[in-house]
Structure 1
Amino acid sequence: MRDAQAASGRNTAGHGIRLADFQPQDLPAIHAFAADPVVCQYSTWGPNQLADTREFLADALLEQPHRVLQAVMLGDVLIGSASVWVTDRKAKAGEIGYTLNREYWGNGYATETAGLLLRRGFEDLGLERISATCDARNAASIRVLEKTGFKPEGRRVEDPDSDAARAETLIFNIGRT
């Protein structure tokens, strides 16, 4: 089924990584990384219970004109999720987010995924400016964003009473070139 999607042009190809529409049978692969506390340690969500992952997948299967939410594929293996969405239609602004199974960390796949998301945001969603946020302690994600061309724009101290584990969030931005 994923080959039919590639032929229809719904996938975005990179050098080894591609983005593809999620499929109902992707639940176990998604839950493998979404339930991993190490993967989620710097996220504002997770680790997921199975019901949380089911809810995520149900949402991911819905097409929405203001976002791209797809599976990160290495060959035929689902290794993560990636999204770019519109945050301000008038300003043509958006944001990206990505999560990879930790078995695939350290291979440049997150950087490649971020690049694919930028292309989708600028070309498919017509964005002029894209932002990304990450926990200030997440050195790997900071490197990914910098390698992809994002520039640091600010810091936000998080509410210590919130459920989020973040104490400080870094904000990055990139404009269409």
Structure 2
Amino acid sequence: MVKTDTHMEKVKSHLLVEKKNIEEAEERRKAREAKKISKEVQAQKTKERSKQKKEEIESVKKWRKQRQKSGFAGGENGEDISLPFEDGKGFERKQKGRRNVAPGDRSGGMGRQGGGKGRKGMDKKRNSRDHRDTKFGFGGRKGMKKQNTADATNEFKGFNKGDFSGSKERKK
């Protein structure tokens, strides 16, 4: 039986499509199997990890019991380690010796230096300028002066005391 070329082309294309579909189905089946295997492997790993964690916890518990039996005098958790900062000196900041210098002073306390001989009037101005500089600083952050502290909160000096303040003449 002789077939035309066009008919044979159709048959060939049909066979190629069928072969392609079979290969794709095979790949999908392999992917499904690989996914199942990977799920099983992952479950196995998580089981192993949880088992290892339990074993480590048990070993730590056994170790603690052995330490208590051996007479280790520790706290309730077996903590008796003396650390260098427990004496209270580890975290203290060193105070810099900057007397008469405002907290916001950016000059590094050098604003008062500068001598030289001058007239008495100039010395008075210089001294008052130095005093103001040490009191108020040379700029920088000013927020530290207006911070609430325990001493300032408990101080009632500036409040009116109602009937107890003022002159006696006004009361009458």
Q: Aligning the two structures, in what range does the TM-score lie when normalised by the shorter sequence? A: under 0.3
**TM-score of the aligned structures, taking structure 2 as reference length:** 0.18
Indicate the structure whose relative CO is greater, using CA pairs within 8 Å and at least 6 residues apart: 1
For the pair shown, which has the larger CA radius of gyration, 1 or 2? Answer: 2
Structure with the higher strand share, 1 or 2: 1
TM-score by length of 1: 0.18
Name the one with the larger helix percent: 2
